[in-house]
Amino acid sequence: MTATVELTRVSKRYAGIEATRDMSFALNAGETVALVGHNGAGKTTLIKLMLGLIRPTGGAVRVLGEDPATGDFAVRQRLGYLPESVSFHMTLTGRETLAFYARLKRVTHAAMDALFERVGLAPEAADRPVRTYSKGMRQRLGLAQALLGEPRILLLDEPTSGLDPALRRNFYDLITELSGRGTTVLLSSHALTELEGRADRVIIVNRGVKIADGTLDELRRIARLPTRISIRPANDASPGLADGRWNRTAQGRFEAEVAPEEKIALLHEVTANPAMLTDLSIAEPTLDDLYAHFLNGQAAQ
């Protein structure tokens, strides 16, 4: 794997506040990574460090092999950034806005129509002032701005807040396409549920410290949280339901929590006679569950 971003023991202190401490991780080409944490956990600070907008108090940040705060402008051209709250000049049209950012970034904006199409902004909207745009359209324009110059690294701070479900799906489809072409995508988010199945890897930060880093499966293995198995028996008197493991829930269902290493055996047992069941569902720990687990673990330390 090719690392495009590397943080080594990075800390950032503001007057009296340690926004991030001893932070190390690498992001790879083609990887979509979710950076999650409470308000004030240090997510935006990490993004600003990667952009070279601020310098670390200690440790080293490398982006495409260079220090983004002092390195070549060429490196910053290969970075795309969507800030948490996008604010544009309201009297400029979408097209003028994009041309402005393209000049700032010193990249060509010849393929602007293709970019509008890619983020789902209609050509007629591109020529309207931004003040007439809905929140979703502004977010799309923000994304178009971040995509200028075909960045190798995209840093997106809370990119889907304020987007309706259809726009969100669109947005994630675009992210999948970009990562398929080798772009590193970092998404900072509070919306844990929607990140499941979208991010290859999750980094959880709390009070400036990294408390977990891995794929969802890896985090599940480390956390060892139980899987919830829910069944609807054909008949309440089914053998095995009285052994204390199964709890009756709504609508004639029974539920059991099972440790990862016992899961297969219990499924085998409960499905041994298919005629005894009318339904079965399995719920693995969600990212929300894992997040709470790692946060509680840190609080207990």
> Footprint of ligand ATP on this chain (CB under 6 A)?
14, 17, 19, 37, 39-45, 84
CB 166 within 8 Å of CB 132: no
In sequence order, what E strands does the chain have? 3-14, 17-28, 32-36, 58-63, 79-82, 153-157, 184-189, 201-206, 209-214, 227-233, 247-248, 254-258, 277-283
Cβ atoms 255, 249 nearer than 8 A: yes
Output the smallest distance, CB 41 to ligand ATP, in A.
Answer: 4
Q: How far apart are CA 246 and CA 230, in angstroms?
A: 9
Residue closer to ligand ATP (CB basis): 43 or 138: 43
The distance of closest approach from Cβ of residue 223 to ligand ATP in the complex, given in angstroms and rounded to an integer, is 22
Q: Which is nearer to ligand ATP, 105 or 210 (CB)?
A: 210
At closest approach, how far in Å is the CB of 210 from ligand ATP? Answer: 12
Place of tokens 């609080």: 299
Residues forming beta bridges with residue 210, ordered by sequence position: 205
> Which is nearer to ligand ATP, 4 or 188 (by Cβ)?
188
Closest to ligand ATP by CB, 43 or 210: 43
Shortest gap between Cβ of 237 and ligand ATP (angstroms)? 52
- Closest approach of Cβ 292 to ligand ATP, in Å? 17
CA pair distance 299, 216, nearest whole angstrom: 21
The DSSP secondary-structure symbol of 93 reads B
CB of 256 to ligand ATP, least distance (A): 37
For 52, 66, 153, 154, the CA distances from 77, given in Å and listed in that order, are: 12, 13, 10, 11
* Residue 142 Cβ vs ligand ATP, minimum distance, rounded to whole Å: 16
Q: What is the Cα–Cα distance from 23 to 212, expressed in whole angstroms?
A: 11
Whichever of 47 and 115 has its CB closer to ligand ATP, that residue is 47
**Distance, CA of 282 to CA of 226 (rounded, Å):** 11
Which is closer to ligand ATP, CB of 93 or CB of 160?
160
Assess contact for 98 and 115: CB atoms under 8 A: yes
Output 37 or 136, the one with its CB closest to ligand ATP.
37
